[in-house]
A = this chain, B = another copy of it.
Amino acid sequence: MSLTTRLHIIGSHVNLDLRRNNKTKFTRYIPRFRSQPIYYTKEFVPAAYKCNNPRMQKISGSAVPMVKSSLIDPDGGKLVDLVIPESERASKTLEAESMPKVRLAQIDLEWVHVICEGWSSPLKGFMRESEYLQSLHFNSLRLSGGSVVNMSLPIVLAIDDETKESIGSSKDVGLLAPAGYLIGILRSLEIYTHNKEERIARTWGTTAPGLPYVEEVITPAGNWFIGGDLEVLKPIKYNDGLDHYRISPQQLRKEFDRRQADAVFAFQLRNPVHNGHALLMNDTRKQLLELGYKNPILLLHPLGGFTKTDDVPLDVRMEQHKKVLEDGVLDPETTIIAIFPSPMHYAGPTEVQWHAKARINAGANFYIVGRDPAGTVHPTEKRDL
């Protein structure tokens, strides 16, 4: 495996460079605005340290870099957090009880998890039609201030005719976990058509049968989308012995601060770490040190949501990742292992933008992109999609 693609998601601008044989080995995010930094240090930070340019850090001549508590702003300037305060839980639960209900499938629940922790900031719920169409056509969302952020995958909740009818003209619905208990509320609803063919064509560039996410999620789904503002009653837990690995973007940002990271590089994977991966990660660290960073931290970030049946199960992967650190293949001092709660689309260049964008929100300012990221074979032809 070698790095031959480069993806730039730079502040309010988006540039996809998918040409082969590109020599750039990793991606650097240069934030264009810092309207609302969500973390800060009380220590005085000279201007030179606030700049992401490693050359400026060298110029400063200091041996020990000071803490830069927010290496990169979340998209939209503020990390979204939709888990309501515990003090409101009882009253909101009571309120939700009286609403029409939408029962989620397991993958819907994974998206609730993704949205409520701010991985998809600035999204504040399942997409309404305007957001959905912008995502399909522009792989981006235009914010009210006029700036543009990347949003390459539609993050949507489908319902069937029966559920639509049961909602009627209600403005809000209660969301039920697959097991049937209340987990949240979707407010100020907008219900619109789920054009499955167009969604598939514009996301995967093919409508050939056999795409894993399409077979699992889209084909069986209802013909309507329901968008709205999300409120989640309490943090999403899976009780599978792996919840301690499910670290939110907010918690990750705090941990990067605690470790005094001056660069964070993320590595997305959905299979065991192999030797090529390890070489990539260690080489990226080396490159960052050569660029002048003093304390680059690796975010080893396996995807924890839906994967296709022939991928290695999450619990096995987490065990393997743990061993990789214990064996010293990666340095535990400069590595954080956590689970990225998103389901997998297997949508290649369209999906890798999502993978990188979510890591911006978690505070990573570098992202390693592989040869064929989020790729899969064409479902009916003998070639990569």
User: Contacts A202-B202, A205-B202 known; A142 to B13 CB distance under 8 Å?
Assistant: yes
**Which residue on B lies nearest to A10, using beta carbons?**
B146
Counting chain B CB atoms within 10 Å of each CB, the highest count among A16, A137, A197, A205 belongs to A137
Q: What is the distance, in angstroms, from A287's C-beta to the closest C-beta of chain B? A: 24
**Chain A interface size, under 10 / 10 to 19 / 20 to 34 / 35 or more:** 20 to 34
Judged by a CB distance under 8 angstroms, whether A334 is at the interface is no
Interface: A129 (CB within 8 A): yes
Assess whether A239 is interfacial by the CB under 8 Å rule.
no
Per the bound structure, the CA–CA distance linking A176 and B318 in Å amounts to: 60
Number of copies of this kind of chain in the complex:
2
- Which B residues touch A14, using CB under 8 A? 138, 140, 142, 148
Q: Mark A69-112, 1 if CB is under 8 A from B, else 0.
A: 00000000000000000000000000000000000000000000
Cα–Cα distance between A14 and B140 once the two chains are bound (Å): 9
Most chain B CB within a 10 A radius of its CB, from A16, A136, A205: A205
Chain A contacts with B in 6-55, Cβ cutoff 8 A: 10, 13-19
A206 contacts the other chain (CB 8 A):
yes
In chain A, positions 185-228 with a C-beta closer than 8 Å to chain B are 192, 195, 197-198, 201-202, 204-208
Closest CB pairs A-B (n = 10): A198-B205, A201-B201, A15-B142, A201-B205, A207-B207, A202-B205, A18-B133, A137-B139, A16-B137, A19-B129
Q: Which residues of B contact A204 (CB under 8 A)?
A: 201
* B-facing residues in A131-151 (Cβ within 8 Å): 133-134, 136-140, 142, 146, 148
Whether, in the assembled complex, A350 has its beta carbon less than 8 Å from a beta carbon of chain B, the answer is yes
Q: Bound complex: CA of A14 vs CA of B138, how far in Å?
A: 8
Q: Are A17 and B130 in contact (CB under 8 A)?
A: yes
Indicate if A349 sits at the interface (CB-CB under 8 A).
Answer: yes
- Can you list 17 contacts pairing A with B, beta carbon distance less than 8 Å? A13-B146, A14-B148, A15-B134, A16-B134, A16-B138, A19-B130, A19-B133, A136-B205, A137-B152, A138-B139, A197-B205, A198-B205, A198-B206, A201-B202, A201-B204, A202-B205, A206-B207
Interface string of A356-383 (1 = CB under 8 A from B): 0000000000000000000000000000
A207 and B206 alpha carbons, distance in the complex (Å): 7
The residues of B that contact A138 with a CB separation of less than 8 Å are 14, 16, 138-140
Contacts of A10 in B (CB 8 A): 146
Shortest Cβ distance from residue A226 to the other chain B in the assembled complex, whole angstroms: 15
Measured in the bound complex, the distance between the Cα atoms of B203 and A202 in whole Å is 8
Q: From A16, which residue of chain B is reached at the shortest CB distance? A: B137
When distances are taken between beta carbons in the complex, the residues of chain B under 8 Å from A134 are 15-16
Q: A142 — nearest CB in chain B belongs to which residue? A: B15
Partner of A201, one of B13, B206, B349: B206
In the complex, the chain B residue whose C-beta lies closest to that of A383 is B195
> Shortest beta-carbon distance, A162 to chain B, in Å?
22
- A148–chain B nearest beta-carbon distance, Å: 6
Q: A137, B197: Cβ atoms under 8 Å?
A: no
The chain B residue with its CB closest to the CB of A32 is B146
Q: In whole angstroms, what is the CA distance A142 to B12 when docked?
A: 11
Q: How far is the CB of A23 from chain B (nearest CB, A)?
A: 15
Kindly list chain B residues whose C-beta atoms are within 8 Å of the C-beta of A192.
19
Q: Which B residues touch A349, using CB under 8 A?
A: 133, 137
